[in-house]
Amino acid sequence: MLETARRYRKRKESPVEETRRLLDAIKRDTLNSFITIDEQGALLSARSAEDLLDREDAGVLAGIPVAVKDNICTCGVRTTCASEILADFVPAYDATVVKKLKDQGAVILGKTNLDEFAMGSTTTTSCFGPTRNPWDPSRTPGGSSGGSAAAVAAMLCAGALGSDTGGSIRMPASFCGITGLKPTYGSVSRYGLVAFASSLDQIGPMAATARDAAVLFDAIKGHDPLDSTSALHDYAPTDLEGIDLRGVRIGVPKDFFGPGLNPDVKSAVLSGIAELADMGAQVVDIRLPHVRYGVAVYYIVATAEASSNLARYDGVRYGMRSGESGGLRNMYLQTRSKGFGAEVKRRIMLGTYALSAGYYDAYYRKASQVRTLIADDFRAAFSLCDIIAGPTTPVTAFRLDEMVDDPLSIYLLDIYTIPANLAGLPALSIPCGFDSRGLPVGMQLMAPHFREDLLLGAGIAFQDRTGHHKVRP
């Protein structure tokens, strides 16, 4: 992204030339990373960016080609959530993050593939077919922001936006060997993001490097009066040169290095933490005693909120409609039966059950209480350290046909990413090495609320030293 901006300013390439090159590459793409390509809109934005670059006040993003996950609204360009029920939905407005990118001259190439309604960890539940991993097309790119991750890793765009409810930015970033940031809850507007679980969802940047991710984050962060959950906060600027890690305390939770962790992943992450120590960081042991309940808590809270949010898709107001000749009840039944995929139906039913009379106190209320305990664990841990480091995922990218009939095993893949969402914390996944098959491994860094500058600064310093981010598929 920054390299593209430098080429523009040296007149080695124009935004129109770069946009055309990438649009041609996307059309030839066999990874299925995009659902919709906005060729006309992208070229129009690129021509406008060329005029903008002649001005001294042109920002870094002027003419930079980016992609947007297809659960983020784009005016005049369909937003499908990779679901039959919204396959032809075209929003009449831009999400706040999209508007911010456009205002700064970015070029939106199109909309990327995802698990249906962002519910999944593989990008295989999309009604448009699975996305494939650029490192090995027989393997998953992770999910649910797998299309954005694959597009960045395959160099089909300079950066992308994803959404993260329980790890949906960080897991695909880890599987595809790129950088992904889940910001603090409330630091980036959710206006225009199609809701999955409203207390957990967060839009964030995905890029080849932490430096580029910082540029995207700085462009989209900030208070938005259109989002009632948007935070009023004075954000520290990100130092694009990285930070000095001498004296920075890195907390390593033993709870993240149990028997379920793949040995190759464990080795790569511990090597990454050792590298941070060699750079001057102080490594300290910490405990997060309640994170072992994170997956159970998440799949009660998230499914409960999903069952409420997805009740609006009934064939009445927008989206597909089926069975209306049989009366209202039949229309509801037929529309939702045909429009939703199996994973979405599963989560709606789980959430409806957890909220039903007689079960609310036993499940949802108890899960909310344990969620508070998990947040308390992090507050206690951050009194002992500045950054928490551990694995992003317990495994590397697996085959597309693996675990397809085992949803519980797939749910457990989010064991290390879910706690940051439950506590509303910022978390960053950066490449830290490879497994024995040459597949990338991600290391996750977490920081206190609104300390994205600390995470990104540490990520930049780590990548400048190790160069893991320069190895591409």
Q: Catalytic residue positions?
A: 69, 144, 168
Q: How many CA atoms lie within 13 A of 153 on its CB side?
A: 34
Residue with tokens 């040995």: 263
Output the DSSP codes for 434-448.
E-TTS-EEEEEEE-S
407 burial via Cβ count (<10 Å: 0-12, 13-18, 19+): middle
112: β partners: 34, 69
Q: CB 92: neighbour CB atoms within 10 A? A: 7
CA distances from 28 to 21, 23, 124, 133 (A): 11, 9, 20, 15
Spatial separation of the C-alpha atoms in residues 200 and 68, rounded to whole Å? 19
Label residue 223 left, alpha or beta by phi (over 0 means left) and psi (-120 to 50 means alpha): beta
Determine the distance from the C-alpha atom of residue 181 to the mean position of all C-alpha atoms in its chain, rounded to a whole number.
Answer: 7
Spatial separation of the C-alpha atoms in residues 146 and 6, rounded to whole Å? 28
Amino acid letter, residue 374: I
175 contacts 133 by C-beta, under 8 angstroms: yes
> What is the DSSP code (8-state) at residue 127?
T
255 contacts 292 by C-beta, under 8 angstroms: yes
Residue with tokens 């509303």: 424
Q: Which of 118, 200, 183 is nearest to 422 (CA)?
A: 200
135 contacts 438 by C-beta, under 8 angstroms: yes
Output the DSSP codes for 77-111.
B---TT-GGGTT---SS--HHHHHHHHTT-EEEEE
Six token digits for residue 52 = 């903008």
Q: CB 90: neighbour CB atoms within 10 A? A: 15
Q: Which helix (H) or strand (E) holds 25?
A: helix 15-28
Strands of 327-413, DSSP E: 387-391
318 burial via Cβ count (<10 Å: 0-12, 13-18, 19+): middle
